[in-house]
Structures are given as C-alpha cells and as structure tokens.
C-alpha cells in the first residue's frame, strides 16, 4: 500500500472539515435512513462512552457501518478495503467519515499500525471480525485479528448483531429496499492478556463468536 494513501486518510480524518461532514451524515442517517428501514435498536447502553473500544458487528451489507453511526455520539473509525480509495474525491469523503484503507488477504502492517495507534489514543474503531461480507445469521470462522488488536491495545470489544441489511441491500444491489433493519449491541468483552499466546487468542475469538451469535439472535428476534 502506498504510505501516502494511508497518511492522507489519517490527515483528512483529523481535520475540522471531517467532523462537520461526519456530523451532517450522521444526522441524515438518523432522520432519513433509520425511518426508511424502520430501524429498531437495543443495547445502546452497552457502548462505553470513552476509552479504546472495538465495535465488532456482523457484516451482511454495505449498509452495516453507515446505519451504526447514530447509535453513539462518538466519531468512530473503520477499516475499509483499499480499492475504495482509488478515486481521490471519494477517498476524501470516506476518510472524512472515519475510514482508512486496508489491503485484504494479506498481512497489512501499515493498517494494523494505524489501527493500533488510533486505539492507543482512545478511539472507537469499527472492525468486521468476519472479514468480508457473509450471508445468513450463523456466525462462524472469525479471524483472530480482532483478538490481536484488543490484546495489544487493551480495548474492550462490543459485538453487534444486525438483521435485515442483507435483504435490504444484498451484494450487487445499487439501491436499498425498505426492509426492516434491527441492531442489537451486546455486552463488552474484556480484551485478552497483552502477552497471550496464539492459543489463548483463539480461545478468546471463540468467546467473541458466542457473543456475536447472541447479539445476532437478539437482532433477529427484534424483527
């Protein structure tokens, strides 16, 4: 990855304009998109109001991260695939909304360093523990990357279930349909020990899997 792309994303996100854009988009989502999807949510009290936190939702649609913005007043940051940053104007908008690039399918050390730095500064970071978009309501095969980040930064991890976005905007769709969306925010999971061996990280990932499944089941029940 070009260091300049990563640096530019972080620079834009820290600017005054980014705060204005993020706030405006957040209001738009709350006033227009939430009613459009008849969104129901529960568990907002489970989100810590300060300190390093990893928001770990299921990933079923491109709508997932957008619809989560109004559940907290904190400006969250998020990993986004590198290909989305090819067009400079769109890259600026993504960066203003808190996204920064990651190269999928490889050990992207630049992105990991950026994520760790943000969490060390007390950020709220959105990470999809399933990686790319999945289908259905069964949670399986989480990556250990979330465990690694949590262990190294001391960030608690909040699992989030989301139902309805897969039907509202499945892969290949250009315009979302007005399907009901439900969001369930689970209880925070304490991070693994900073020096935990790989076997302990795998066990912790199983705990996250169970927490994410519980949150997803709750989201489904809200519908």
Q: What's 218's domain CATH number?
A: 3.40.1130.10
Q: What is the pLDDT of residues 40-62, one digit of tens each?
A: 999 999 999 999 999 999 999 99
Q: What is the pLDDT of residues 79-114, one digit of tens each?
A: 888 888 888 889 999 999 999 988 765 556 788 888
Residue 3 has pLDDT above 80, yes or no: no
Q: At what angle do helices 88-96 and 3-13 cross, to 10 degrees?
A: 50
pLDDT of residue 4: 83
Domain count, the chain: 1
Residue 124 has pLDDT above 70, yes or no: yes
pLDDT of residue 105: 57
pLDDT of residue 108: 66
Please give the order of strands across the beta sheet that includes 40-42: 40-42, 182-185, 156-163, 53-57, 124-126, 77-81, 99-102
Average pLDDT over residues 112-126: 94
Q: Could you give the CA distance from residue 6 to residue 110 in angstroms, rounded to a whole number?
A: 8
Report residue 1's pLDDT band, with 50, 70 and 90 as the boundaries. Answer: low
Cα–Cα nearest to 35, from 45, 43, 27, 23: 27
Average pLDDT over residues 182-211: 96
pTM: 0.93
Q: What is the pLDDT of residues 131-188, one digit of tens each?
A: 888 999 999 889 888 999 999 999 999 999 999 999 999 888 889 999 999 999 999 9
- By residue range, what is the domain housing residue 22? 3-222
């Amino acid at each position: 990855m070009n260091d300049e792309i990563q640096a530019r994303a972080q620079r834009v996100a820290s600017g005054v304009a980014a705060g204005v854009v993020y706030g405006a988009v957040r209001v738009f989502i709350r006033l227009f998109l939430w009613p459009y999807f008849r969104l129901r949510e529960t568990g907002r009290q489970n989100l810590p109001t300060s300190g390093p936190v990893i928001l770990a939702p299921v990933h079923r649609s491109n709508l997932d991260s957008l619809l989560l913005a109004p559940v907290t007043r904190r400006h969250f940051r998020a990993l986004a695939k590198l290909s989305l940053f090819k067009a400079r104007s769109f890259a600026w908008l993504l960066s203003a909304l808190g996204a920064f690039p990651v190269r999928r399918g490889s050990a992207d050390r630049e992105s990991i360093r950026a994520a760790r730095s943000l969490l060390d500064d007390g950020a709220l970071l959105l990470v999809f523990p399933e990686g790319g978009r999945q289908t259905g309501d069964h949670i399986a095969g989480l990556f250990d990357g979330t465990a690694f980040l949590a262990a190294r930064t001391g960030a608690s991890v909040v699992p989030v279930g989301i139902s309805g976005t897969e039907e509202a905007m499945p892969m290949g769709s250009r315009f979302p349909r007005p399907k009901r969306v439900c969001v369930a925010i689970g209880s925070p999971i304490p991070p693994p020990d900073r020096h935990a061996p790989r076997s302990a990280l795998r066990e912790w990932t199983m705990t996250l899997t169970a927490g994410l499944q519980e949150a997803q089941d709750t989201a489904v029940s809200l519908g």
